[in-house]
Structure 1
Amino acid sequence: MSGHLHGVVQTTRSDPSRVLEEIKRQTLEQLGGLPGTLYGPIEEALKADSLKGDGRNHHYEDQAALWILRQQQASHVMAFRQQVGHGFDAFRQPGSVVGGLGGSPLQLVGEQQLAFDLDGERLTEALELRYQRPLEMIRSRLQMMSQAMGAPEGDNPLGPYRLVKAFTAIYSEAQVNESLRLRLFRQYEHELARLLGDLYGRVNNLMATAGYGVSMGGAGAPVAPARAAEERRDRNTLDSVFDTVPHREAAASVPHDYNAHSAASGGYGGDGHAAHAGGHDNPQISQADVAAMASELAELRSQLHAWREGMVKAGGLPPGQAPQRSMAPRRELRIDEVVGMASLLQPEPPDAYARALAVSGRLGETIRDQLFDGARRLGFNPDQTCFSAEEDDAIDLVALLFDSLFRNHALQDRARRVYARLVMPYVKVALTDNEVFVKREHPARRLLDAITEACEGNDGETPQDRDLLERASDISQRIVSDYNEDLAVFELAHAELDALLSQHRRRIELQEQRAAKATYGRERLGAARSQADAAVRERIGEGRLTQAVADFLATPWRHHMVQVLLRENEDPKRRAQALALGDALVMADKLAAENRGRELADQLLALQPIIVQCLASSGLDDSAAQHGMAGLVRALATPDSERDEHAPPSASEVEEDIAEERRLYMAGGDGSGAHDPLLAERMRQLEPGDWLRLTNTQGETVAVKVAWVSPLTSRFLLVNRRGVRALVASAEELAVLAASGRLLVGAERTAFDEAMRQVRRHLDRVI
């Protein structure tokens, strides 16, 4: 039985030399051929640039230099592999001079060498910043390997410094001009960005499996200043967001990062084992803040206790699943004993949890059922033992958290098994590390956010979406198989999934941009149609017209007006000319009615080119346009033609998909109803990037983001987490939704934060 707490390094370690050799093999396997992959994309880019040139700028010098480099491709690949290998040799013997990367005598540096060094330094800094977290873990593990080998600590052989030095070493002596040098660096950075995330994840996992683990709990790597600053900015953002929930609920939903709490102040570290992360030593957190945060966690626990006791009294929990401390004198299980039960159950099929997630409120009962079963298998008598208050809190918080995630984040049924696998690992995390519920940067918390981002609203329609679901499923399997109270497993899994999600986020941004452009195009079309309808009504309503003139104004001329307003709205001359055509036709009909034949003939001759052009804009060819013109002339040539009043055209119909969208979210389908002016004014303060919770008329809630505000109508485009348009509504319509309780402004940006917020609201509501 595994009873130790997280952060304990595995005592059985593999031979460090063999581990280092395996790391070298994997590094060369993934990166060894990099120089050979650079030339093709650069050559294509040069060809594209030459085709786009104006005849004055030529790229033949770059192409000639690149052709020379391509002739030496094999030697460049070999030299690069040797330089990377020298980095591993230098790690084993840090004092030696290997590969010309250090220890050379002082000498003058040429301009090309200096340019390569400066560009290399910039690239090194960019890569170190980008991969800061996995590099810190690799650095710590390599230090442990150096100690195991009895050698001083050397440079990371697969870090950005070594990889960039290996690159510059093979090209600094080549004949490369400035333009080609910049292209080489840019392409090399692109290739590294494509490969390093996966490589660093594999290497970290390899070293952790070999026994060179790093505790990510209390004494783990410090949070980088930039990351800490970003974390503080995320917390402060909530201060300026309007929230329609009561103040108490809003305050309870704000996530806090506090670290060290004893069991007496709300921690879950039974037997005096409080998870400590040096929170009291953090200069950014005052003692008053720590006390306030501890008080808030204590309040959450008191809410849990009141909720649990209320459920027992109301019969909401079966007697066998209720807290048993007051039923008979029983021994409370220790934390390590419950963790051992969870470790026994962790690799077993998650069918019971998947079924429980399908029924709200059943997960906590199922977790206790499974733990009781594990207790029996380990020789504990459930009639003589019970969970402690801290253990009950951990179980209930995990159950409420997962239930909230599954209820409020548009997760498909196929994602249920992914979450079901994670239930028991997260119970273990909650038992041994209470920071998961309060610390935004906790690895287990960040992984759950990433998995929810990958699964929310994902129906697997596209290959990219299916890849995301498969990767999330694989990662949940890996957590089940690898997690043994070492939080580094969560950190590595998050880094891998986040690398894939970064590409997905770029696709979502493009989807949002397309939705905004499509919405703006529809608004412009709707505005043009409304103006054209108003112009037609104004002219048809002036008096009695022949049927031919009325039909021409209602159909071809209206379409022509729409085209002019859409394409040439900024040209007042074209707009005035199109309007004058309508007025001239009404005048021609009047001349015909008064039998003023000569003036009518002159009027029609003058209008013929414009009328033909108007008909052509409706898609008619020249012959059909001439035929339409002839029909108009025939109708006006007879003074006694029947003239009558004609009904003006009705308002433009709303597209079916927009009508369906408004029926889904707007009561009555049009969002009509009285609104609170103050609430509407607050809605106008929403900006792109603000998150909201929107509930449709069927009661389903989805997280939506303000993606765009129309410069034409000031309406807000709301998209879901997949970047798909959900609703376009005015501030007044949003105010109506908020007043009816179906719109909540100020939703949390991450799934875990929002789930904890919903847990607090649920406890408040039930109590």
Structure 2
Amino acid sequence: MSDTQVGVLPKFHPLIKDYQAEVDTFLHKGLVRLFQEVEPVMIDFASKAETDNAQLLFFDAITQVQNLSEQVTDSFLTTLHKGFSAFSNCRPIEYPRPIIEAEDTSKIEIVENQDLEIHIAIQSMITRSKDKNHQALYQLGQRLAVIQQGKKLRDQDIPASPEHVSTTFQTASDLFGLEQKLLLILYVLFEKCVLKEIGTLYACINKMLSDAGIYPHLPPTITRYKDSSRSDGNGSAQDGESAQQQASQASSSSDLRTEPLTNEDFLVGKEVFNTILSMLTERRHADPRFRNHPEYAPDGNLEQLRSSPELVTAINQLHTPVEFDMGVYADTAADDLSPNDRSAAAIDYLQKRITSERENLFSELDENTIPTADLDTIELVGMLFEHVLDDPDLASLTKTVICHLHTPYLKVAIIDREFLTNPDHIARKLLNLVVNAGRRWVDENNVDAGIYHTMRDMIHSIMRDFKDDISLFDRCYSEFLDHLRALEHRTRLLEERTREATRGKDRLEYARLRADEIMHQHCDGVRFHPVLWQFLSVVWKNYMTLLLLRDQEIERRKEWRSVLMVINSVIKINNGYGDALTAQWLKHAWPRLRKNIESGLDFLGNTNPSEYVAFKKTIAELQQARQSEPSEKVVVRPVTETKKRKAKSAEAARSATLRKFLEQAQQTEIGTWFEFSEPDGSLRRVKLSWYSPVTNNHMFLDRFGSKAFVIPTDVLVQRLANGTAYTVEPNRFPFVDQALQKIYRLLRKE
């Protein structure tokens, strides 16, 4: 039926032409701005290059872009027009590269390793543009569906959608012949000059369609944004793999496992917050250091108290660190400490540093000039960072870096007390995100693989640049979140590839075991001529393995009968050695047998292996009655690897205790996190990613998606039984909310 579909109604053709003309005008202007910005941007990069060759690369790029800009623009617009043509004919837009959503792990294997960074950059641009313009795109999609006679459009089939323009520019920019890092710079400029302004184009198109009478009063309802909840494999809401999605992150691309969850139980209301402040005030009232404070002394002079702006100015005038003090990690002697001792030393050092920063602030500013409300704030922020030190999921190296935010956050809390009461305060969201990212994406033994360096650079910029403008935290939050999304996406791709590789190996192992099992079923107890057995056990079993690997249903097919016929024929030849009747049978059966064998060899891609050469020679000698029966024969035994493996599992499950842990290992769901105690006392956090019922092995991945190790079930059972392995539930709840709840409970106990 689709072949007979003419396309959109003729009355809409002028409207589509106007639509295309608006798009052409907008995009042409955007590309002109883009190409104008290439030269200053490339020169800036060249000035920072460390070598002459690197500088030359950027200068050459300027020339290439200038020379080919018109050709690229023409190619870009021409390819884009094909999308409009497809739309006019009610066909989906064809893309030179497939559109792969961030969550679509079923297709990620088509993204080559060298293309990952490009893919992530393009996908991130598309996601940001779609999120920013989701209402306009929804309205546009609804109106275009009317033009296509009610046919609902996918996002990527909307002409000039973020997917359409971004991937088309990606293809057109290949004409420049630039290296990947230079292309990434072009993509950033494309997002700046085109995608960030494309909302004006969508508004214009929507108005044009509305004025033409197509849904003139369409409300901006977005049906794809839903609030959904999911629990993890163990029914826990805390698992970072499958925890509940929030309405604010409903689109699949922005649903980050590393972004903190929200939960009403952890939202600290103003009543609880005010109770915390009251308890801090009562505690300070009994402290002799504050005996002369104006708000406590009967004749206190309140005029000497500083206002919040004065207090922030005074803090800025103090000598506050703008470089990292890594404490224990700056001392090479720490390398000789055990992980536990190094962690304990780091936490002790950080505890003293936080206390020292607070006390220095009190002494240098004169605590009697600080209002009690600000004293409460200063103390409460200090307690928050002390709870960073108590977080069991943070590596001590991560704690060392995060604690450098103590002084900046003192200023934030004094400037804007909403930081401590409003869960959506940008500085609070950033601290929650940083702590949660540290929990999930920093491995002290592999700091280059995760988010550590990005986190460190971001914290350093806050230490260096923050004075009193809280908008800095907004920028840091946005940039850090982008890095997390890219890391999350990259890890998801790698995890899926690792699983696919393991599945492939597992299928191969199954095929080998099954071929071996079938061969032994037919040959059990047979005393074979060495040459005949060598052919069956090597060449023919390889053929059987490949067939089983290619087609899991092969044993039900006619082709398999030929496989078994060859085995049975060789057995008959072997058992009738020197027998005249067998020789007579072989004379007639050999042509067909040879045809079946050589058909299998063709399938293997090796038409004349040495084992087959020896096999043919032996058959020829038998036919000519020149072959005497060998004195030594190969006896085929029935024991298979599968039986051995099952015996091992039975051995592991002999005791009732081990049976309990065996059941736990078998019922643990894929995606569950484990911690393994290493001999040096360190803990290794890994995720169960694959279990093979064929090999009885469990594969674990590290937090970055790479294979950590593969262990048999009986080894995992032993580790679970002796306590050197156990499951863990990653903490994804907001750090500040949890810490305030703990502070509230602690103060109530005092």
TM class by smaller structure: 0.5 to 0.7
Alpha-carbon spacing, 1:444–1:626, altered in 2? closer, same or farther (3 Å): closer
**Which residue of 2 is the match for residue 257 of structure 1?**
267
Partner secondary structure for residue 270 of structure 2: coil
**Which residue of 2 is the match for residue 241 of structure 1?**
236
Alpha-carbon spacing, 1:352–1:639, altered in 2? closer, same or farther (3 Å): closer
| Structure 2 CA distance for aligned equivalents of residues 458 and 538 of structure 1 | 50
| Structure 2 CA distance for aligned equivalents of residues 43 and 714 of structure 1 | 55
**Which residue of 2 is the match for residue 130 of structure 1?**
131
Q: CA deviation at 1:31?
A: 11
User: Is it true that 1:599 corresponds to 2:585 in the alignment?
Assistant: yes
| Structure 1 CA distance for aligned equivalents of residues 316 and 658 of structure 2 | 52
User: Is it true that 1:185 corresponds to 2:185 in the alignment?
Assistant: no
Q: CA deviation at 1:525?
A: 0.9
**Which residue of 1 is the match for residue 631 of structure 2?**
642
Alpha-carbon spacing, 1:396–1:531, altered in 2? closer, same or farther (3 Å): same
Is the 8 Å Cα contact of residues 42 and 184 (structure 1) preserved in structure 2?
A: no
CA RMSD of aligned residues (A): 6.3
Partner secondary structure for residue 726 of structure 1: strand
Alpha-carbon spacing, 1:647–1:61, altered in 2? closer, same or farther (3 Å): closer
Q: Which amino acid aligns with 1:578?
A: V
| Structure 1 CA distance for aligned equivalents of residues 381 and 315 of structure 2 | 14
Partner secondary structure for residue 266 of structure 2: coil
Within a 5 Å distance, the mapping from 1:336-415 to structure 2 comes to 344=318, 346-353=320-327, 355=329, 359-362=345-348, 363-378=350-365, 394-402=381-389, 404=391, 408=393
Is the 8 Å Cα contact of residues 436 and 444 (structure 1) preserved in structure 2?
A: no
Alpha-carbon spacing, 1:436–1:642, altered in 2? closer, same or farther (3 Å): farther
User: Is it true that 1:629 corresponds to 2:589 in the alignment?
Assistant: no
Q: CA deviation at 1:505?
A: 2.5
Within a 5 Å distance, the mapping from 1:240-319 to structure 2 comes to 240-241=235-236, 256-262=266-272, 265-267=275-277
| Structure 2 CA distance for aligned equivalents of residues 745 and 443 of structure 1 | 29
Partner secondary structure for residue 261 of structure 1: helix
1:606-660 CA-to-partner distances (Å, cap 9, x unmatched) read 422233344556653448576233344267552432243436598679xxxxxxx
User: Is it true that 1:523 corresponds to 2:506 in the alignment?
Assistant: yes
Alpha-carbon spacing, 1:688–1:44, altered in 2? closer, same or farther (3 Å): farther
Q: 2:431 aligns with which of 422, 444, 458?
A: 444
Within a 5 Å distance, the mapping from 1:64-213 to structure 2 comes to 130-131=131-132, 182-186=158-162, 190=166
User: TM-score with structure 2 length normalisation?
Assistant: 0.53
Q: CA deviation at 1:490?
A: 2.8
Partner secondary structure for residue 577 of structure 2: helix
Q: Which amino acid aligns with 2:627?
A: T
**Which residue of 2 is the match for residue 329 of structure 1?**
288
1:298-346 CA-to-partner distances (Å, cap 9, x unmatched) read xxxxxxxxxxxxxxxxxxxxxxxxx9999x8322899989986698454
**Which residue of 1 is the match for residue 533 of structure 2?**
550
| Structure 1 CA distance for aligned equivalents of residues 412 and 635 of structure 2 | 75
Is the 8 Å Cα contact of residues 676 and 725 (structure 2) preserved in structure 1?
A: yes
Instruction: Structure 2: give runs of 5+ residues left out of the alignment.
Output: 1-29, 39-68, 97-125, 144-152, 170-186, 198-221, 240-262, 296-305, 331-341, 643-648
| Structure 2 CA distance for aligned equivalents of residues 257 and 239 of structure 1 | 24
1:579-621 CA-to-partner distances (Å, cap 9, x unmatched) read 3322221221101154643234444444222333445566534
Q: CA deviation at 1:550?
A: 2.4
| Structure 1 CA distance for aligned equivalents of residues 684 and 191 of structure 2 | 32
Q: 1:722 aligns with which of 685, 704, 708?
A: 704
Is the 8 Å Cα contact of residues 524 and 638 (structure 2) preserved in structure 1?
A: no
User: Is it true that 1:421 corresponds to 2:370 in the alignment?
Assistant: no
1:665-708 CA-to-partner distances (Å, cap 9, x unmatched) read xx9xx999866666666666655555555555655434444556
Partner secondary structure for residue 597 of structure 1: helix
Alpha-carbon spacing, 1:597–1:186, altered in 2? closer, same or farther (3 Å): same
Alpha-carbon spacing, 1:451–1:696, altered in 2? closer, same or farther (3 Å): closer
Q: CA deviation at 1:557?
A: 2.2
Partner secondary structure for residue 266 of structure 1: helix
| Structure 2 CA distance for aligned equivalents of residues 514 and 574 of structure 1 | 32
| Structure 1 CA distance for aligned equivalents of residues 90 and 130 of structure 2 | 36
Is the 8 Å Cα contact of residues 556 and 614 (structure 1) preserved in structure 2?
A: no
Alpha-carbon spacing, 1:355–1:620, altered in 2? closer, same or farther (3 Å): closer
| Structure 2 CA distance for aligned equivalents of residues 49 and 410 of structure 1 | 53
Is the 8 Å Cα contact of residues 83 and 159 (structure 2) preserved in structure 1?
A: no
Q: CA deviation at 1:527?
A: 0.8
| Structure 2 CA distance for aligned equivalents of residues 582 and 49 of structure 1 | 61
1:230-265 CA-to-partner distances (Å, cap 9, x unmatched) read 5x947x779922999xxxxxxxx9961223135663
Is the 8 Å Cα contact of residues 717 and 728 (structure 1) preserved in structure 2?
A: yes
Alpha-carbon spacing, 1:630–1:47, altered in 2? closer, same or farther (3 Å): farther
Alpha-carbon spacing, 1:616–1:476, altered in 2? closer, same or farther (3 Å): same
1:372-420 CA-to-partner distances (Å, cap 9, x unmatched) read 3454544679xxx9x9898666535423424647xx4568x6x687435
Is the 8 Å Cα contact of residues 346 and 400 (structure 2) preserved in structure 1?
A: no
Is the 8 Å Cα contact of residues 259 and 439 (structure 1) preserved in structure 2?
A: no
Is the 8 Å Cα contact of residues 525 and 638 (structure 2) preserved in structure 1?
A: no
Within a 5 Å distance, the mapping from 1:32-51 to structure 2 comes to 40-41=75-76, 43=78
Is the 8 Å Cα contact of residues 653 and 659 (structure 2) preserved in structure 1?
A: no
Is the 8 Å Cα contact of residues 466 and 472 (structure 2) preserved in structure 1?
A: yes
Q: Which amino acid aligns with 1:549?
A: L
Q: Which amino acid aligns with 1:349?
A: E
Q: Which amino acid aligns with 1:620?
A: N
Q: Which amino acid aligns with 1:347?
A: P
1:546-593 CA-to-partner distances (Å, cap 9, x unmatched) read 221222232222222211111133233333332332222122110115
1:725-757 CA-to-partner distances (Å, cap 9, x unmatched) read 335578887666555445554623638659969
Q: Which amino acid aligns with 2:321?
A: P
Is the 8 Å Cα contact of residues 533 and 634 (structure 2) preserved in structure 1?
A: no
Alpha-carbon spacing, 1:741–1:652, altered in 2? closer, same or farther (3 Å): same
Identity among equivalent pairs (%) = 17
| Structure 2 CA distance for aligned equivalents of residues 438 and 33 of structure 1 | 36
User: Is it true that 1:575 corresponds to 2:560 in the alignment?
Assistant: yes
Alpha-carbon spacing, 1:524–1:443, altered in 2? closer, same or farther (3 Å): same
Is the 8 Å Cα contact of residues 411 and 468 (structure 2) preserved in structure 1?
A: yes
Alpha-carbon spacing, 1:541–1:131, altered in 2? closer, same or farther (3 Å): same
| Structure 1 CA distance for aligned equivalents of residues 413 and 638 of structure 2 | 66
Q: 1:609 aligns with which of 595, 601, 608?
A: 595
User: Is it true that 1:533 corresponds to 2:516 in the alignment?
Assistant: yes
| Structure 1 CA distance for aligned equivalents of residues 91 and 273 of structure 2 | 72
Q: 2:489 aligns with which of 506, 529, 535?
A: 506
Partner secondary structure for residue 524 of structure 1: helix
Partner secondary structure for residue 364 of structure 1: helix
Aligned residue-pair number: 526
**Which residue of 1 is the match for residue 574 of structure 2?**
589
Q: Which amino acid aligns with 1:582?
A: I
| Structure 2 CA distance for aligned equivalents of residues 755 and 717 of structure 1 | 35
Partner secondary structure for residue 351 of structure 1: coil
| Structure 1 CA distance for aligned equivalents of residues 484 and 318 of structure 2 | 32
| Structure 2 CA distance for aligned equivalents of residues 601 and 399 of structure 1 | 89
Q: Which amino acid aligns with 2:596?
A: I
